[in-house]
Amino acid sequence: MSNVTIENVKKYCRAANYLSAIQIFLQDNYLLERPLSPNDIKSRLLGHWGTCPGINFVYANLNFLLKKHNDADFVLVVGPGHGFPAIQSNSFIEGTLGEYYPNATISKAGIENITKNFSWPYGFPSHASPHTPGVILEGGELGYSLSTSYGAILDNPKLIVACIVGDGEAETGPTATAWHANKFVDPRNNGAVLPILHLNGYKISGPTIYGRMSDEELTNLFTGYGYDVHIVEKAEGASGAEGDEEKIYTDMADTMEASYVKIRQIQADARVKNVDTIKPKWPMIILRTPKGWGGIKEMDGKKIEGNCYSHQVVVKEPRTKNNELMALDTWFHSYKFEELFDEQNGFIQEVKDLIPEGDRRIGKNKHTFGGPEVYKPLQLPDPNTFAEPLTKPGVIGSSSMIRVGEYLNEVFKLNADAKNFRFFSPDETYSNKLDKVYASIKRAWVWPLEKWDEDLAPQGRAIEMLSEHTLQGLMQGYVLTGRHGIFASYESFIQIVSSMADQYAKFLKQAKEVAWRGNIPSFNYILTSSGWRQEHNGFSHQNPGFIDDMLQRQGDFINVYFPADGNAALAVIDECLSSSYGINVIVAGKTLEPRWTTVESSKEQLKEGLAIWNFASQENPDIVFASAGDYLTKEALAAVDLLQQELPEIKTRFVNVSTLSWSGFGAGQHVLSKPDFFRFFTNDKPVIFNYHGYPQTIKQILFDYAENPKRFKVNGYNENGSTTTPFDMQLRNGTSRYNLLLDAISFLKEGNKISPEKASEIVEKYHTKIAEFKKYIVQYGVDPEEISEWQWKK
């Protein structure tokens, strides 16, 4: 048992609050060695004070708990990441910051360094970031802290993540669903999340919903969610600056202790007593403290502490308004920082005594750093084991998702002991033809089971929930702490998490700049049930926007893959699960489609990200067809087939693109060069490109390659869809074989490769076919056999 007491916690909070406050305001006189002057104040005031005292209070109490329990292992995830001054203050006090930033020493110079550089160009940002040790969540875009925390504790049986959820953040949709992640946490094999809902009552300009709810309402709500609810509240009227309030400190310490004991008891019942734990009541804390607790109480007749006016910079013009400057001086002196720190010895012993030793410090927790202590590569099977034989190109019978499902099932088997691989999906795994994974794993479920339920078990390794936000957050937490995963979704509905994915990409981009952050697995998406084959569900299910959004991200670590068939999909999934520190998006269908490749030929194609398919190509072509996407590839090859039937003298080339990144064709780190671009697409021949997503994306990529963009015709999804037939989806969007043939005829006529008369004859013929097709599907509701039964005949 440690000899630290509540008094240590109080003094630590005073020190952390002081450092948090001065970071926002001061550019000199950091130890208040003379009265504040206007020149001591930064000319540009940035930062958020209101949430900082609550963060510091939680951090100090976690330290208190860690000092009492040598076996405790805590990560802190802070939802209100705009309270970065507090996060940085604690990292500074515990010495972690100084280990990675040599100028952040526990000294007067170190205080100057962190204060002067906070919210400063090329200094420290205003929000938590990967540049801060211990951080796995930026927290700028609110709503993702709780799901990220739950992801971090999956398969981490000793770890507890204390998650501060701000009451403004708690109003977001992603947070609302993340409370239900407790239904998937089996205490035998997983750690625990201790949610701390911090109610300081206000957002930027008004009250929060949760802040105005009564204790009874809050207790009923979260009890219904399955939590054991504990409320800790600051007594009205007590001063936070002097550290003289006793009750909230003792209440919080007792509640933290009781919560820790409850968590370990639930786990011990499952692990030692082998009790089947159904609906475990994990503890959570609701912490009520005033916004801006301990800061300026009132200014110019406006209530500041305990009101929205303390959210950011509590006084705006202290350089020019003396009353504001004096208010700052009084506020800062109220912490009596001179009693807590001196230049010779740093922090007093009572503050030092509260800091856990070595790697047990919160900011030093190994799970937040990546690298070999937490990251182990997966054992992967040979994808050829699951390949389909290729007797000739175009044989029907390839389903990318069935092939991938069989492969993933084996991945689960090979890594069963390591417990470092999980599958995340909405309620779509069966629909997406990936259910082969359930031959060796189950879906996690620790709430009651009915006898007719299928593929559900407390220790399941797949998580299915109809909240893409929660699944995204779960996988982010899982991957950032070193483990591997797949997030599979309907293509159209993954768009729901576009902003989350963008935030994650920003986090990775910054993390890759930080030398002391170790390797982590890539985040792998599978997008299937694509819009091209959602003709039975209709327009709402037809949206390839996510891939186009990801291709706008300027990072060579984001790659989008378009395997053309099941064998290509095996090569791609193998490559993605072998990769690290990236984002991979695999776009592939689930229906039975033609087979074009072998695993080995697809692996070879992945080296450059595209290939000339010789079976559909001739030397010195008159025209080039290209495709990216399985359904679009079939239509492009069917167009080549039609062109050769109509004009056998015309020579064609077919290029299949399997990988795109923001910087061009191929993977971002090995993007196709401009000379190689002409090797594939010739220097001057017309090119018809059939693309899975929005045409503008390919046009943007071509801008950097093509010297004569007019020779390129790009077709893709142009926001036309309905409940219709598969081929009609292609016709509506101008990507069908008929449309591509007509495009080719236009180019060939313009290039004097065919006569105007011949061109008119073919154009009339296929316009007639299009009209006849529409009549046929209106009458019969299906595509005619010449479309549905088409196969490559060469």
Long-range Cβ contact pairs of 773-780 (< 8 A, separation 24 or more):
773/727, 773/728, 773/731, 773/738, 774/728, 774/731, 777/724, 777/725, 777/727, 777/728
Band the pLDDT of 147: cuts 50, 70, 90.
Answer: very high
Is the pLDDT score of 241 beyond 50? no
347 plus 414 within the same structural domain: no
Tell whether 368 is covered by a domain: no
Q: Please give the pLDDT value at position 274.
A: 81
Give the pLDDT confidence of 630-645 residue by residue, as tens digits.
999 999 999 999 999 9
Residue 606 belongs to a domain: no
Same-domain check for residues 620 and 568: no
Note whether 651 and 583 are same-domain residues. no
Residue 373 inside a domain? The answer is no
Q: What is the CATH number of the domain that holds 82?
A: 3.40.50.970
pLDDT, tens digit (0-9, with 9 covering 90-100), for 380-425: 999 999 999 999 999 988 799 999 999 999 999 999 999 999 999 9
Do 336 and 395 lie in one domain? The reply is no
Q: Characterize the bridge pairing of strands 160-166 and 192-199.
A: parallel
Q: Where among 595, 624, 639 does a domain terminate?
A: 595
Quick check: 542 and 729 in contact, CB under 8 A?
A: yes
State whether 562 and 621 are in the same domain: no
Same domain, 435 and 347: no
- Percentage of residues in the chain with pLDDT exceeding 70? 98
Among 570, 595, 620, the domain-final residue is 595
CB-based burial label for 102 (10 Å; 0-12, 13-18, 19+):
exposed
- What is the domain range of residue 771? 611-663+670-788
Of 488-502, 520-534, 701-715, 738-752, give the lowest mean pLDDT range: 701-715
Confidence tier at 240 by pLDDT (50, 70, 90) = very low
Task: Pull the structure tokens for residue 338.
Answer: 């001179």
pLDDT digits (tens, 9 = 90+) for 307-317: 999 999 999 99
pLDDT at 706: 81
Question: Residue 11's closest CA among 241, 247, 283, 261?
Answer: 241
Residue 1 has pLDDT above 50, yes or no: no
How many CA within 13 A on the CB side of residue 233? 9
* Inside any domain, residue 369: no
Residue 106 lies in a domain: yes
Residues 6-23 have pLDDT tens digits of 999 999 999 999 999 999
- Which residues does residue 561 pair with via DSSP β-bridges, in sequence order? 586, 659
pLDDT at 244: 47
Q: Is residue 402 part of a domain?
A: yes
Locate all alpha helices (DSSP H) within 382-493, ordered by sequence.
Answer: 400-414, 468-480
Instruction: Answer whether residue 764 is part of any domain.
Output: yes
488 and 356 together in one domain: no
> Do both 588 and 647 map to the same domain?
no
- Asked if residue 409 and residue 269 are part of one domain, the reply reads no
CA dihedral 612, 613, 614, 616 (to 10 degrees): -120
Residue 88 in this model has a pLDDT that exceeds 90: yes
State the average pLDDT for the chain. 95
Same-domain pairing of 654 and 721: yes
Q: pLDDT value at position 242? A: 41
pLDDT the model gives residue 237: 52
Which among 595, 625, 640 is the end of a domain?
595
pLDDT of residue 3: 85
Per the DSSP assignment, residues forming a β-bridge with 283 are 228
* Number of domains forming the structure of the chain: 3
| Range list of β-strands (E), 445-573 | 456-457, 462-464, 484-490, 523-528, 558-561
Lowest model confidence (mean pLDDT) among 236-250, 572-586, 679-693: 236-250
Same domain, 677 and 744: yes
Mean pLDDT, range 766-770, rounded to an integer: 97
Instruction: Supply φ then ψ for residue 425, to 5 degrees.
Output: -165, 150
pLDDT band of 239, cuts 50, 70, 90: very low
pLDDT mean over 620-636: 98
DSSP-derived secondary structure letter, 616: G
pTM of this prediction? 0.96
Q: What is the pLDDT of residue 638?
A: 98
Please report which confidence band the pLDDT of residue 236 belongs to, taking 50, 70 and 90 as the band edges: low
Q: 709, exposed or middle or buried, with CB in 10 Å at 0-12, 13-18, 19+?
A: exposed
- The pLDDT of residue 245 is 76
636 found inside a domain:
yes
**Residue 446 is encoded by which pair of tokens?**
């620790």
Q: Do both 258 and 308 map to the same domain?
A: yes
pLDDT value at 577 more than 90: yes
For residues 170 and 202, the answer to whether their CB atoms sit within 8 Å is no
What CATH number is attached to the domain comprising 658? 3.40.50.920
